[in-house]
């Protein structure tokens, strides 16, 4: 077991790069990358960093030279032989050779595209432009780098014993959460915390703690590198990025209305079983479900990633019933703003009515709230999203208007096309 506090104190952050591998990323990112490589590889996309927590002035906390050093290191990475063997030969979701030979040959030779970095009003403007399959690989490592550099900035002047106490308190906090979850019947829980983790070493420690403390109730991690090293399942399906880009490419309102289903039609051709999970909230869940083709009702489940989670699950149950499906055989994955009490509550509410699973993110891998002065390690809401495709702006509406993204005129147009009415504001936890 790594002594995290001593490692933090001794190496002064020079020994360990923040991102150690191209597979130090979320599994769904690689699945989506393969789909994009197959269907839209020549699309030009721009990704941009967006800090929703404006009070965290990253450009004043994080040294630009250190940031560039970490980003340049990521550009130097390539798959190792062992990593390639893991992706080519391992069984994911019960399927061997999940990643096709042509995709793997491309991935083994990929070069991460250049980045553009500027400071503006106390924030970093970080953008990536290029072909979609290459540029999309920046999202997760870019977030991980900024989150960890912020942690390093807060911790840099702490002494050896101060760090030992800090990490002892954080470990105790996590273990107390694990103990609360040990008695929850039929629990299925995965780590979804890569993008906003405190650090790589801390995420790795959290996964090991979950393995030991929860046993079979812990079903895996979204992080491919940790999944390989700790011999647990790599977990993940797809994300908002796909419908956002497909929709931006639509040439008419009718094509726009159809775009989210075109995404899933392409996905349907490639995947089956537990990879057929609907993420319905990109442009409002109600409208998506109302217009969904019948074949989508036959998919395995739904992931709820915005809005009130209980209302989202009830909405899904009602939709399945209206389409002649048995909800007790369907999977609902909760993945937005979770902490232990909400997990226990949702499990109790929906156990037996659907198959329930949880993707536990930031408050698993980055809960240092109140452990340093001025709450300096409290998690914050940082995202890296596709903002344009072939020169057209992307839009995300979500079931929570506070998560909406895109130019105001385009947001209004998308709301009209997708029939999105009044929405309830919900605090964005992380």
pLDDT of residue 403: 83
pLDDT tens digits for range 250-279: 999 999 999 999 999 999 999 999 999 999
Among candidate residues 277, 171, 178, the one with its CA nearest the CA of residue 218 = 178
pLDDT interval class at 416 (50, 70, 90): very high
Mean pLDDT (whole number) for 360-381: 95
- The highest-level CATH class for domain 168-366 is alpha beta
Burial of 280 (0-12, 13-18, 19+ CB in 10 A): buried
Beta strands in 134-235 (DSSP E): 189-191, 218-221
Among candidate residues 186, 115, 106, the one with its CA nearest the CA of residue 145 = 115
SS3 416: helix
pLDDT of residue 430: 60
Mean pLDDT (whole number) for 355-375: 96
Among candidate residues 357, 339, 384, the one with its CA nearest the CA of residue 237 = 357
pLDDT of residue 11: 53
* CA separation for the pair 336, 429 (Å, rounded): 9
pLDDT of residue 13: 46
Mean pLDDT (whole number) for 292-314: 96
In the predicted model, is pLDDT for residue 429 greater than 70? no
H runs (alpha helix) in 183-298: 200-214, 224-230, 241-248, 253-270, 285-291, 294-297
pLDDT tens digits for range 312-359: 999 999 999 999 999 999 999 999 989 999 999 999 999 999 999 999
Residue by residue, what is the 3-state secondary structure of 88-102?
Answer: HHCEECCEECCCCHH
In the predicted model, is pLDDT for residue 15 greater than 70? no
In the predicted model, is pLDDT for residue 9 greater than 80? no
Residue 190 · residue 222 · CB < 8 Å: yes
Among candidate residues 163, 237, 231, the one with its CA nearest the CA of residue 4 = 163
pLDDT of residue 402: 79
Residue 238 · residue 279 · CB < 8 Å: yes
CA 425 to chain centre: 22
Examine domains 4-158+381-399 and 168-366 and report if their fold is the same. yes
pLDDT of residue 3: 81
In the predicted model, is pLDDT for residue 425 greater than 70? no
Question: How much is the pTM?
Answer: 0.94
Each domain of the chain, given as residue ranges in start order, spans 4-158+381-399, 168-366
CATH of span 4-158+381-399? 3.20.140.10
pLDDT tens digits for range 63-107: 999 999 999 999 999 999 999 999 999 999 999 899 999 999 999
């Amino acid at each position: 077991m790594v002594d995290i506090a001593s490692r933090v104190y001794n190496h002064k952050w020079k020994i360990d790069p923040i991102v150690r591998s191209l597979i130090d990323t979320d599994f769904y990112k690689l699945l989506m990358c393969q789909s994009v490589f197959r269907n839209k590889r020549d699309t030009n996309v721009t990704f941009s960093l967006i800090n929703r927590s404006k009070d965290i002035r990253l450009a004043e906390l994080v040294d630009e030279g250190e940031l560039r050093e970490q980003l340049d290191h990521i550009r130097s990475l390539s798959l190792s032989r062992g990593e390639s063997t893991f992706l080519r030969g391992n069984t994911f979701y019960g399927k061997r050779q999940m990643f096709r030979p042509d995709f793997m040959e491309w991935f083994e030779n990929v070069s991460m595209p250049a980045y553009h970095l500027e400071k503006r009003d106390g924030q970093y403007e970080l953008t990536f432009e290029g072909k979609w399959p290459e540029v999309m690989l920046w999202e997760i490592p870019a977030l991980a780098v900024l989150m960890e550099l912020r942690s390093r900035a807060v911790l840099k002047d702490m002494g050896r014993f101060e760090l030992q106490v800090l990490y002892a308190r954080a470990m105790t906090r996590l273990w107390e959460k694990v103990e609360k979850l040990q008695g929850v019947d039929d629990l299925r829980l995965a780590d979804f915390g890569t993008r906003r983790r405190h650090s790589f070493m801390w995420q790795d420690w959290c996964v090991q703690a979950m393995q030991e403390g929860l046993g079979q109730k812990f079903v895996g991690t979204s992080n491919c590198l940790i999944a390989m090293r700790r011999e647990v399942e790599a977990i993940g399906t797809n994300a908002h990025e796909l419908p956002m880009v497909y929709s931006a490419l639509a040439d008419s309102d009718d094509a726009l209305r159809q775009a989210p289903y075109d995404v899933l039609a392409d996905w349907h051709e490639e995947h089956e079983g537990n990879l057929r999970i609907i993420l319905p909230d990109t442009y409002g869940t109600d409208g998506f479900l109302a217009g969904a083709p019948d074949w989508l009702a036959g998919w395995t489940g739904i992931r709820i990633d915005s809005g009130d989670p209980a209302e989202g699950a009830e909405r899904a149950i009602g939709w399945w019933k209206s389409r002649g499906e048995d909800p007790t055989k369907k999977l609902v994955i909760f993945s937005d703003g979770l902490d232990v009490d909400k997990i226990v509550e949702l499990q109790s509410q929906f156990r037996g009515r659907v198959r329930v699973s949880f993707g536990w993110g930031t408050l698993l891998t980055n809960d240092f709230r109140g452990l340093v002065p001025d709450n300096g390690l409290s998690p914050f809401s940082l995202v890296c999203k596709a903002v344009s495709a072939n020169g057209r702006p992307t839009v995300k509406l979500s079931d929570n208007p506070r998560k909406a993204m895109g130019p105001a005129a385009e947001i209004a147009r998308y709301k009209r096309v997708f029939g999105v009415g009044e929405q309830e504001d919900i605090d964005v936890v992380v």
